[in-house]
């Protein structure tokens, strides 16, 4: 998946306390991404908003340690913004 605002590939990162997560710039994809994660894939997650150095807001989607980060990256790589129209 490519973040529409940054143009960068969305990569799975690992938080030592909370496990695998992805982050995107706010308003880049949230509505359709959440529809895919919840409605199609049934992947549980929670969202944390954080301020970035450039004053933008970043949304971090945390998935917990039960998720395999390699499998999650394959799922994220397969998501395209055209999959769901709002």
Domains, the chain: 13-83 (3.30.70)
End-to-end CA distance of the chain: 17
Which pLDDT score is estimated for 74?
96
Which pLDDT score is estimated for 81?
58
Which pLDDT score is estimated for 29?
58
Which pLDDT score is estimated for 86?
43
Mean pLDDT by 10 residues, the chain (86 residues): 87 97 80 88 94 85 96 93 48
Cα angle at 36 between 22 and 21, to 5 degrees?
15
């Amino acid at each position: 998946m490519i973040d529409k605002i940054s143009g960068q590939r969305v990569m799975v990162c690992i938080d030592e306390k909370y496990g695998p997560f992805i982050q995107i710039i706010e308003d880049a994809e949230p509505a359709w991404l959440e529809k895919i994660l919840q409605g199609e894939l049934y992947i549980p997650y929670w969202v944390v908003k954080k301020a970035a150095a450039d004053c933008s807001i970043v949304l971090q989607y945390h998935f917990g340690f039960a998720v395999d980060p390699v499998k999650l990256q394959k799922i994220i790589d397969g998501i395209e913004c055209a999959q769901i129209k709002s």
